[in-house]
Structures are given as C-alpha cells and as structure tokens.
Amino acid sequence: MDCYNIMILLVNNRVKNAAKLQEALTESGCMIKMRLGLHDAVAAADVCSNEGLIILQLVGSDEDVSALEKKLNSVEGVKARNNKICSEW
C-alpha cells in the first residue's frame, strides 16, 4: 500500500511572513518532494496578492511530517494541514 502526504499551507500577509516561512521550509527541504505556490494574479504587474496557498508533497516518517506541520503552524500568518492518503491495494 502506497501512502502520500500532501500538506496545504494558507499564507496570510505574504510579504511580511515569507522570509520566516521560507526559512522553515528550507530547514526541512529534504522532506519536500514537490512544492507548488499559488496566489491571486492581479491586473497590475507591480501588485502581488497578500494571501496565497502552498501545496507540498512530503516524504518521511509520520513523526517528521507531524513535526513539520507543527513548525509551520508556529510561523505567524501560516495555517498548515497535512492530509495522508493511501491506496487500498
């Protein structure tokens, strides 16, 4: 049975909180198999959305994934939630 850990992060006040979040992600970089960042595009090229989503596919033990989730939730403006999904065969 194969299992996958997909963690979704909601990032508020991206400009203010991005550096601390990036530091936390870099510390756990070996666990991150895939990272996708999404934010609302706006018409003006010089204006960025202040809220965004980051989707991570993680590898590692359940304990390591749980520790990362706790670490990311401790970063101001970040809400992280892991979802583990497993095949039935």
Domain count across the chain: 1
User: Is 21:27 a contact under the CB 8 Å cutoff?
Assistant: no
> For position 65, which CATH number holds?
3.30.70.1150
pLDDT tens-digit series, residues 61-72: 999 999 999 999
Least confident of 19-28, 38-47, 79-88: 38-47
- Tokens read off for 46: 């010089």
Using the 8-state DSSP alphabet, how is residue 44 labeled? Answer: S
pLDDT tens-digit series, residues 47-60: 778 889 999 999 99
Q: How confident is the model at residue 45 (pLDDT cuts 50, 70, 90)?
A: low
Q: Containing domain of residue 52, as a range? A: 3-86
pTM score > 0.85 for this model? yes
- Beta strands (DSSP E) in the chain are 3-12, 32-39, 51-58, 78-86
